[in-house]
Structure formats: C-alpha cells, structure tokens
C-alpha cells in the first residue's frame, strides 16, 4: 500500500503578537496551533487530522511563565510546561494540589515538553488538569487580535476534543484566584497504569467558616466520566452550609453519580466508572476537609 503523505505550511511565531497576527490572517483556513505537540503530532501521524497550516508558538517566550500575586492569584502562560508547574515553589506553597496532580501526568519526558494549556486545548475528557482547575474556580484567557475574553474552566471543553476557542483565537493563560482562608483542596485519579489517562478523577475544594465548623463553599470537578470534564453542582449543594461529616460526604457521592455520564469501554463499564467516581469522591472529600481544618 502506498503511504499517504500530508503537506502543510509551517508558520513559526516568536512573540504573542506575531502569533495573533498569524491567527488573524489564517482564521478562515484549516490550521492547528502547536506548542508541545504531544497530542497534535500523534493525531497527524495517524492521519486523524491533516491541517493545511501549522502555527508554531513554542518559541513564544512571553507566554512561558508562572506568576503569583497576592491579589490577582496565579497566572499560568500558554507555554508553561507540566514539569515547570510541578516544580514551581510558589505553586507548591499556594496551590499544592496542582503539583500533586502533575506528579501523575504521563511521564517526566512528556511533562518536560507538553504544556498545561495545550493539554486542556486537546480536550480529552479524561485530562488531568481539568478537575483541579474546575475546583479552584479557574478561568482561561482566550486571545485574538485586539480582543481578549475569559472562559470558566468548567465551560472550556464543549465536547470530545472540542473547546470554546474559536477560529482566530488561542488560549493564552490560565487564571486562578487566591484561595480563601480555611480552604483545602485535593485531587486523585484512578488509572490502570501510573501516569495514564484516568478512568475517573475527582477534585474537591472545601472552604470552612471562621470557626471551621460549617462548609462555607464547596467545588467539585471530575474527568473521565463524560464527554467533557464536569463540575458537580448538585453534589456541591449537599455540602454547602452544613457541618461536613463522613455521612454527608457519602450522600454527596451518591448525588454525584446522577450528574455524570460515563461511557462503557474496554477498560470498564459505565456502571463501574459511576461507582468509581462515587468512591473517589468520598476519599477526596475527606482529605479536602482535613486540609481545610488544618489551613
């Protein structure tokens, strides 16, 4: 069989402004943005996609940053790698859940090259960063030539491998607010192989009142249990305004099973994944509570 070849025009950018210019010029064309390329190159290799243009932003150094401000919170640029997030001292101090999440993302080699924003833009429904970012109330800044807008992390993925980024735009930054006092956050995932995509993953944020007796706020993010990562708002309401007990967390775990839509596959049935998500929520909820009590 004759090999199929694919030709494309390669368009490298050296600044964010230059990248936005290229996107503006080619917004009506069939193009893809490449940063780390861990997912894009694989898709092209297997002929799943064949874009006419590749806009390379890997050399855009002004998008490679991790910054923290006591008022604005954490900012993660589009070129920040998984490994830089994992090893960032300020992230470990202020948002340790992100470092813990990164330690189980693929391999060190992948984390050294792959970008966090690029991972989100691939929009795999089991992506690791999404649940903790949803729990942390993160937003993604989406930029185009002359314009910017922000999208909540829970609304960024629209369907399998589809995001809110439109033609002529790129996801430029993750924005995470400062955590309130008395807040604990925890994340875990279950995968059959260390570092692999999750069959189910859960992140929980719990903020307690001043006396550390009542749940002032709760946020729950999940992945691997639907066509996109989700926020479990009904399960959150079970916890809010109440003194959290093991029984209450178990009640939230039952509710979360009704909010997800897992799909059966060779790795497990939909019913198995639903039960798995509930079990993980009970474990993660208890640890998030313990962290809030110690905060």
- Give the pLDDT confidence of 177-217 residue by residue, as tens digits: 999 999 999 999 999 898 899 999 999 999 999 999 999 99
Q: What is the pLDDT of residue 226?
A: 97
Q: What is the pLDDT of residue 1?
A: 33
Residue ranges of the chain whose pLDDT lies below 70: 1-6
Q: What is the pLDDT of residue 128?
A: 97
Q: What is the pLDDT of residue 168?
A: 98
For the whole model, what pTM was predicted?
0.96
User: 1 CB contacts (<8 Å, ≥6 apart)?
Assistant: none
Q: What is the pLDDT of residue 2?
A: 39
91 sits in the region (left: phi over 0; alpha: psi -120 to 50; else beta) called alpha
| Cα 205 to Cα 221: distance, rounded to the nearest angstrom | 9
Q: Answer yes or no: CATH 3.50.50.60 is held by domain 183-294.
A: no
User: 153 CB contacts (<8 Å, ≥6 apart)?
Assistant: 120, 130, 133, 134, 136, 137, 138, 139, 140, 174, 221
- CA angle 35/105/239 to nearest 5° reads 115
Dihedral sign computed on CA atoms, order 119, 123, 128, 130:
positive
Q: What is the pLDDT of residue 6?
A: 64
183-294 shares the fold of 9-56: no
SS (H, E, C) 84-151: HHHCCHHHHHHCHHHHHHHCCCCCHHHHHHCEHHHHHHHCCCCCCCHHHHHHCCCEEEEEECCEEEEE
Give Cα 78 distance to the centre of its chain.
13
> Residue 291 half-sphere exposure, CB side, CA atoms within 13 Å?
21
Task: Delimit the domains of the chain by residue range.
Answer: 9-56, 61-176, 183-294
Specify the fold of 61-176: 3.30.465
Q: What is the pLDDT of residue 4?
A: 44
Q: What is the pLDDT of residue 286?
A: 98
Q: Answer yes or no: CATH 3.40.50.720 is held by domain 9-56.
A: no
| Cα 74 to Cα 64: distance, rounded to the nearest angstrom | 14
Interior/surface letters 271-288, b for 16+ CB within 10 angstroms, e for the rest: eebbbbbbebbbbbbbbb
């Amino acid at each position: 069989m004759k090999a199929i070849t694919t030709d494309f025009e390669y368009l490298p950018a050296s600044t964010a402004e230059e990248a936005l210019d290229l996107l503006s010029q080619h917004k009506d064309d069939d193009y893809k943005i490449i940063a780390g390329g861990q997912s894009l190159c694989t898709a092209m290799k297997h002929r799943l996609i064949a874009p006419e243009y590749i806009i390379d932003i890997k050399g855009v150094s002004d998008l490679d940053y991790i910054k923290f401000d006591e008022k604005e919170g954490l900012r993660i640029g589009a070129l920040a790698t998984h490994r830089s997030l994992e090893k960032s001292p300020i992230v470990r101090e202020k948002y340790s859940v992100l470092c813990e999440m990164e330690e189980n993302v693929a391999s060190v080699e992948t984390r050294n090259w792959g970008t966090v924003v690029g991972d989100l833009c691939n929009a795999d429904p089991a992506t690791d960063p999404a649940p903790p970012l949803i729990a942390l109330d993160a937003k993604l800044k989406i930029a185009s030539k002359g314009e910017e807008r922000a999208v909540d992390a829970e609304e960024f993925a629209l369907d399998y491998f589809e995001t809110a980024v439109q033609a002529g735009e790129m996801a430029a930054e993750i924005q995470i607010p400062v955590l309130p006092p008395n807040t604990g956050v925890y994340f875990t995932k279950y995968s059959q192989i260390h570092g692999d995509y999750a069959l189910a993953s859960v992140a929980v944020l719990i903020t307690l009142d001043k006396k550390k007796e009542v749940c002032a706020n709760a946020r729950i993010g999940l992945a691997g249990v639907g066509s996109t990562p989700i926020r479990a708002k009904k399960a959150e309401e079970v916890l809010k305004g109440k003194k959290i007990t093991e029984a209450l967390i178990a009640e939230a775990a039952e509710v979360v099973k009704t909010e997800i839509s897992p799909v059966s596959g060779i790795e497990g049935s939909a019913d198995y994944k639903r039960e798995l998500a509930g079990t993980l929520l009970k474990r993660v909820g208890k640890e998030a509570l313990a962290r809030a009590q110690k905060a």
